[in-house]
Amino acid sequence: MKQFFAALMMLFLINSPIRADELLIRHIAPQGSLDQRSLYVIDLLRLALEKTANTDGPYRLETINRKMFQGRAIKQLAAGKSVDVIWTMTSVEREQQLLPIRIPLLKGLLGHRIFIIRAEDKEKFSMISTLDDLKGLTAGQGHDWPDSEILRANGIKVISSPSYKGLFSMLEMKRFDYFPRGINEPWAEVAAHKDKHFIVEETLLIQYPAPQYFFVNKDNTQLALRLERGLRLAITDGSFDRLFYHHPANREIFESAKIEQRKIFRFKNPLLPAETPLQEKVLWYSPKSRK
């Protein structure tokens, strides 16, 4: 009888699917309760992992609860501590420190920058017609954001702060004139600071190639390969674009930005690595590609 039950148990184990260990992936938290743009990226991360669940096994996403500024998150990831994946604009330095998954999460739209300004300055900005006019004003940026260096390299005066939240107070106090934001960012941010009388500037746009990628630790090639495979599967079956164009964080871009009606200042990006896949058109936003 014991032999019968032993044989039966062996048969059960052979024919039962063995569940792989759940892969824990720790990611940084949104920068605030109304940081919709990070919610989009987290949804995209989840999509890539879902696309590969059948081949790579189950996963669990975990948000790091404590606040972590971008510079510290990069250091923690490079050291293999606390965090497994971050998303940030690429640069030569970052691609030396970390392992990039070279698929632009926002299809390059992050390099289209429009401004949060004080409502009282609306007319002043509407009168800007040349780059020299813009150079007469000062932008505000995070001190460890690549944008700060890009703007300075193109002759823009920049005042920086280590605090994302503090930048809004600095704009209100007239420490600088405008806060360039990714084209999917400013409306929610203005709505979150109604007491400060900010508006989204309607006439100008700065554009430079600035893909935002997922990054993992240099040694975590398994996760990097899984994320790239999942993102490319999502691109192929159309689910990447469906999320990109219809996510609440991005919808306002296409309803409100009116890119074609703005005066565009095209800047060089001295931080752009040579490996950037600029020629792979399917990865980048084009007005013609919108569905």
Local confidence pLDDT in tens for the 291 residues of the chain: 445 434 444 444 344 344 458 999 999 887 654 456 788 999 999 999 999 999 999 999 999 887 777 888 999 999 998 999 999 989 899 999 999 999 999 999 888 999 999 999 999 999 999 999 999 999 999 988 889 999 999 999 999 999 999 999 999 999 999 999 988 789 889 999 999 999 999 999 999 988 999 999 999 999 999 999 999 999 999 999 999 999 988 877 777 888 888 999 999 999 899 999 999 999 998 766 655
**190 vs 47, 59, 141, 245, 274, CA distance in Å?**
29, 35, 16, 21, 35
pLDDT for res 7 = 46
- DSSP letter (8 states) at residue 146: H
DSSP secondary structure letter of residue 254: I
State whether the Cα torsion 38-215-86-20 is positive or negative: positive
Which of 247, 244, 254, 257 lies closest to 115, judged by CA?
A: 257
The dihedral region occupied by 186, where left means phi > 0, alpha psi between -120 and 50, and beta the remainder, is alpha
Query: CA angle 92-96-102, nearest 5°?
Result: 70
Contact 24/60 with Cβ under 8 angstroms? yes
CA distances from 8 to 12, 18, 262 (A): 6, 17, 72
CA separation for the pair 233, 204 (Å, rounded): 36
Superfamily of domain 111-207: Periplasmic binding protein-like II (3.40.190.10)
Q: Are 113 and 146 in contact (CB under 8 A)?
A: no
Give me the architecture of the 12-109+211-255 domain, per CATH: 3-Layer(aba) Sandwich (3.40)
Q: Is the dihedral of CA 39, 42, 46, 47 positive or negative?
A: positive
Task: For tokens 């920068």, name the residue.
Answer: 31
- Same CATH topology for 12-109+211-255 and 111-207: the answer is yes
Domain definitions of the chain by residue range: 12-109+211-255, 111-207
Q: Distances from the Cα of 291 to the Cαs of 36, 105, 152, 193, 235, in angstroms?
A: 21, 17, 36, 32, 13
The residue length of the chain stands at 291
